[in-house]
Amino acid sequence: MGVRHAVALSSGTKALELALRACGIGRGDEVLIPTYACSALWHAVQRTGASAVLVDCDLETLNPSPEDAASRLTKRTRAVILPNLFGLPCDPVSYRLPARVKVIQDCAQAMGARLGRKSVGVTGDACVLSFYATKLMTCGEGGMLLSDSQVLTEAARDLREYDEKNPDKVRENAKPSDILSAIGREQLKKLGSFLKRRAQLAALYDRLLGGTAGLILPVRQPGRVYFRYVVRLQNAAAEKIRTRLAARGIQAEKPVFRPLHLDVPSRGRFPNAQRAYASALSLPLYPLLSQGDISRVASALRDLL
Ligand SMILES: Cc1ncc(COP(=O)(O)O)c(C=O)c1O
């Protein structure tokens, strides 16, 4: 990831929490997080005692909208978590944040992604990875916190382990196991080939689905990776198409379980997240799929549309 220091942890959620705690964020502070993302972000913020402030998404990128984020900044905002959803990098520069706001680049879905010539990992104050079973590389479960700041990673390393230390603050047992880490080291050797294969399969979807009426394809951007191939249906009928694909033996899922604002306290409206929730569908994409599999999914989808 091009980053100097790293702390291996038990999960991506724990890496997010310790990134925030290592930045000194806690009670009384506000952290901007997307409403349209995995709920891990909300749980991590809650565990620090800070308040999560939800941000609407951009309908084209599905990442947090820079304009909406700007409108939710207050004097208490101390950090933002950028999700790099489905492998599409978020550029912190486009958010025009005040210098006091720490940027956590959540690369759970974007390991290996680049912004221009830079690894996404170096574009924030800290970067977080997840090695859960469905991720770009896996240890079964696991996570990592990376940063160019040794002060930050040392603070997280201290919090990760309670043993043989004075209980002067609340620490954790948040280490990954040696056995799972050994699997991760082997997976890391294959990450390049996994990413290449995913990009080839995504390009095939692009070719087979391009020009289909009523279908919006994922943003193509140099440096992105393909964790998911997320399409949007113009008539917002994701659920209907999902069930019909399932009837043909094709598992396409909503890429986000539920936008957070439907379940947790929030301020304002989230019209784009609402539309994304109704219209986005994640088509099957993983390195073991064959070109024939992709063709079968694409023709089933075209047929249903
Ligand atoms: C964007 C994002 N951040 C964080 C996480 C949490 O990772 P973990 O499942 O390893 O706790 C996930 C998990 O799905 C994720 O998608």
**Boundary residue ending a domain (153, 183, 213):** 183
What is the predicted pLDDT for the residue at 235? 80
Same domain (yes/no): 75, 128: yes
Residue 219 pLDDT > 90: yes
> In ligand 1, which atom is closest to the CA atom of 132?
10
C-alpha 192 to ligand 1 mean position (Å): 21
C-alpha to C-alpha distance for 91 and 118, rounded to whole angstroms: 11
C-alpha 22 to ligand 1 mean position (Å): 19
- Kindly list the protein residues whose Cβ atom lies closer than 6 A to any atom of ligand 1: 11-13, 37-38, 40, 83, 106, 108-109, 130, 132, 143
Same domain (yes/no): 164, 229: no
Q: For residue 226, what is the domain's CATH number?
A: 3.90.1150.10
**Boundary residue ending a domain (120, 149, 183):** 183
Q: Is 118 helix (H, G, I), strand (E, B) or coil?
A: strand
Same domain (yes/no): 178, 197: no
- Give me the mean pLDDT over the 23-29 stretch: 98
C-alpha to C-alpha distance for 214 and 217, rounded to whole angstroms: 10
C-alpha 161 to ligand 1 mean position (Å): 21
C-alpha to C-alpha distance for 84 and 107, rounded to whole angstroms: 6
Residue nearest to ligand 1 atom 16, measured at CA? 38
C-alpha 146 to ligand 1 mean position (Å): 15
What is the predicted pLDDT for the residue at 270? 98
> In ligand 1, which atom is closest to the CA atom of 143?
10
C-alpha 40 to ligand 1 mean position (Å): 6
- Tell me: the pLDDT tens digits for 78-131? 999 999 999 999 999 999 999 999 999 999 999 999 999 999 999 999 999 999
- Tell me: the pLDDT tens digits for 148-185? 999 999 999 999 999 999 999 999 999 999 999 999 99
Same domain (yes/no): 177, 201: no
**Quick one: tokens of 251?**
């598992």
C-alpha 42 to ligand 1 mean position (Å): 11
The answer to whether 52 and 45 have CB atoms below 8 angstroms apart is yes
Place of tokens 């009426």: 213
Q: Please state, rounded to an integer, the average pLDDT across all residues of the chain.
A: 97
**Boundary residue ending a domain (183, 213, 238):** 183
Residue 55 pLDDT > 80: yes
- Tell me: the pLDDT tens digits for 235-269? 878 999 999 999 999 999 999 999 999 999 999 99
- Tell me: the pLDDT tens digits for 267-305? 999 999 999 999 999 999 999 999 999 999 999 999 999
Same domain (yes/no): 40, 143: yes
Residue nearest to ligand 1 atom 8, measured at CA? 12
* Percent with pLDDT over 90 in the chain: 98
Place of tokens 């549309």: 305
Q: Give the mutation target among 33, 41, 81, 132 for probing the ligand 1 site: most ligand atoms within 8 A of CB.
A: 132
Residue 206 pLDDT > 90: yes
C-alpha to C-alpha distance for 142 and 146, rounded to whole angstroms: 14
Q: For residue 118, what is the domain's CATH number?
A: 3.40.640.10
Residue range of the domain that includes 201: 191-304
What is the predicted pLDDT for the residue at 237? 85
C-alpha 136 to ligand 1 mean position (Å): 12
Number of domain units in the chain: 2
